[in-house]
Amino acid sequence: MRVFSQCRVQMLPSSLLVLLLSSSLSVVTAVPPNVDLEIPVPAKDASLRSLDRNLVSWSIQNRDLPIFARSKLLENFFKALSTNIAIGQSVRLGGGESDKTTYGSDITITAQKFRSGYYGAQAQGNVTLGPNYFASFKENYAPDARYIWCLNLINTTNNFEAAISTAAGVLDYLGDELDLFEIGNEADFYGSKGFRDSEWDASMMLPEWNYIADEVQKISPNKTIRFMAGGFANPAQIVTKDFDIPGIIAAGFQSSRIPWYSMHLYPQSGCSGAVTIAPLLEHNTLSDILSTYIPQIAAAESVGAQFAIGETNTVSCVGRPGISDTFAAALWLVDYVLFAATLGIRRVYFHSTTRGSYSPIIPVKYALDSVNYTAGILPLSYGAYFISEVLSFNDTLLVSQIEGGNDTDYSSYSIWDETKKLRKIVFINLQSYNSSVGGTNPSMPDTEIYSSDEARPSTRVTVATPWEPGQELSLIRLQAPGSNSKSQVNVSSFTLSEKDGSVKSNLVDTIITVQENGDVEFDLLASEAVLIQHYSNVLANKHPTKTGSKAANSTVNGMIMRTRGADMNISHRLSLNNKFMASAFLMSVLLLFV
């Protein structure tokens, strides 16, 4: 949620709008019936970027976490993702309300009140947190999650008492679960919104920011406090003043306590006016927008830090039903984070609110315009789940685009291990296909259901690989009845319970083999993504399965299928252990000294 959402319409760069409009008006293209790709070895070192296990991360308005903790939905969803990636989720607690938040250690608002949504669906005024805020989700919430907390930079009263007292509470209650602080949400808008004078720029922001950072460090002298700097609203193309990463680094935001920089990105503005589903299914629109972040990434890396998209989603202002809550959003997420990773964007924080159509999970039922909506799961969560399967590996993975393997309607990636062995292939078919099946979701308002007349187009993809002939491969699909579907989405039968987010149906690997000449061949439909890897990789890593379930083999239309089960003997079991935490930490420490 963005507090300054109203102005995003005017502030969208004309070039970005032209880009979106022109692509939406373009003639309907299609993926050809045959696509032939080649993955040459050795991989070009220059094109390989390492994949952060938290590539898909989450941003939740700090006020909202207690409501998300009222049901098991988000917790179990996080557990499924974390089982695959062998590390907890990274959660940024921040958004427009960070800059309205104050803290009082004597605040008596009960934990129960926080959990009931004391500040409303969208707090208009000040948010005062106290110890009971933390008590409202602590101990009973996603134990492996690590947090980023965004502090109030707008409120200057008593030398930033709001920020500093909140930080003391956060340090007290989150302890080692806190990874980073941010100071100020979308501070590039402060001048135009009257929170600072219009001249205010990065060099004027620096002493305020440093003062708060120093004071926060004093609260906890034995712990090195680290920060994510930036958090600006404007996309890379229309930076105001020097509020971008090169700008703030030049102004002096550079030190070992800043291992991360971030900017926010909403490719479409939902605050008013027309938004469409079309750009979610256009690889070129996405890659054009993300490529404008290359100088931001380079600036962060030039000082040994990492760059993240710190808040993002399909459409700003809580999303738009019929767009953000469709399967197209899941396919978009997959292409978004993998393309971002090829550029060096290390993490992408998807913003969620308790009722937003862009959220992966709707935690509790709600009423809107005298209609009742249930708690439940939206398609975006299956895009995130598919990526957790891409990232599932007991070692560091690297990613590259497959050269010649992208177009408006499709996109493809090769995934490598540290010894530069090809490990996985991802192919995303973004061609639109509308279906009347799965057109509604009880968690979201109904929207017009479109339906395509023609049969659903299918494409045969042939990839020349260095893989040994005869090897068994696992193929899994991110699938739904159509790009417009709001329900009936799954990853090769893997589904989560709409009631509590636990695994409802186990994943079924389709087994294919590498051909004599090293080719790998598969078919996929319009609006579908596939992940291919050695079946032995699947067995080597832990995956979420239904409690007490048994693995099973079957043959369907001549295809060998293997259903995952809780009884599968995983030869190289890795749980959410300290090993990755330690290496991830070491990595960020090392980066500081590059």
Ligand X SMILES: *[C@@H]1O[C@H](CO)[C@@H](O)[C@H](O)[C@H]1NC(C)=O
Question: Closest approach of Cβ 367 to ligand X, in Å?
Answer: 5
Using CA atoms, how far apart are residues 239 and 261, in angstroms rounded to an integer?
Answer: 15
Q: How far apart are CA 132 and CA 118, in angstroms?
A: 12
Q: How far is the CB of 303 from ligand X (least distance, A)?
A: 28
Q: By C-beta, is 10 or 569 nearer to ligand X?
A: 569
Cβ nearer to ligand X, comparing 58 with 200: 200
**What is the smallest separation between the CB atom of 566 and ligand X, expressed in angstroms?**
12
Minimum distance from residue 74 beta carbon to ligand X (Å)? 21
CB of 104 to ligand X, least distance (A): 8
Contact 579, 52 (CB under 8 A): no
Judged by beta carbon, residue 421 or residue 572, the one nearer ligand X is 572
In the complex, what is the shortest distance from the CB of residue 403 to ligand X, in angstroms, rounded to a whole number?
A: 4
**Rounded least distance, CB 349 to ligand X, Å:** 25
Q: Which is nearer to ligand X, 240 or 374 (CB)?
A: 374
User: In the complex, what is the shortest distance from the CB of residue 177 to ligand X, in angstroms, rounded to a whole number?
Assistant: 17
Measured CA distances, 106 to 130, 150, 244, 342, 583 (Å): 7, 21, 38, 48, 39
Nearer Cβ to ligand X, position 39 or 333?
39
CB of 7 to ligand X, least distance (A): 20
Instruction: Kindly tell me which of 371 and 594 has the beta carbon lying closer to ligand X.
Output: 371
Nearer to ligand X, 101 or 262 (CB): 101
* Choice between 242 and 546, CB closer to ligand X: 546
Are the C-beta atoms of 469 and 516 separated by less than 8 Å? yes
Task: Find out whether 8 and 269 touch, Cβ atoms under 8 Å.
Answer: yes
Interior angle at CA 87, CA 586 and CA 220, nearest 5: 55
Closest to 275 in 3D by CA, of 200, 358, 396: 358
Cβ–Cβ under 8 Å, residues 437 and 488: yes
Quickly count: other Cβ atoms within 10 Å of residue 206's Cβ.
14
Q: Which is nearer to ligand X, 127 or 249 (CB)?
A: 127
Question: Measured from the CB of residue 540, what is the shortest distance to ligand X in angstroms?
Answer: 5
Beta carbon nearer to ligand X, 486 or 562: 562
Q: Which residues bind ligand X (CB under 6 A)?
A: 28, 100, 102, 125-126, 155, 157-158, 161-162, 221-222, 277-278, 367, 370-372, 394-395, 401, 403-404, 406, 432-434, 450, 452, 479-481, 484, 488, 490, 493, 495, 505, 540, 551-553, 562, 569, 571-572
**101-103 vs 90-93, strand pairing mode:** unpaired
Question: SS3 for 13?
Answer: coil
Which tokens is 106 given?
Answer: 């004597």
Bridge partners of residue 428, in order along the sequence: 411, 529
SS3 (DSSP) at 399: strand
Which residue's CB atom is positioned nearest to ligand X?
A: 125
Residue 275 pairs with which residues in a beta bridge? none
Which of 444, 526, 515 minimizes the C-alpha distance to 481?
526
Query: DSSP readout, 345-393?
Result: EEEEEEEE-SS-TT-SEE-S-EEETTEEE--EE-THHHHHHHHHHHH--
Tell me the C-alpha to C-alpha distance, in Å, between residue 342 and each of 32, 47, 161: 25, 7, 41
Surface-to-core class of residue 159, CB atoms within 10 Å of its CB (0-12 exposed, 13-18 middle, 19+ buried): exposed
Contact indicator for 489, 439 with CB cutoff of 8 Å: no
Quote the least distance from Cβ 508 to ligand X, whole Å: 8
Three-point CA angle 58, 63, 66, nearest 5°: 80
Nearer to ligand X, 75 or 528 (CB): 528
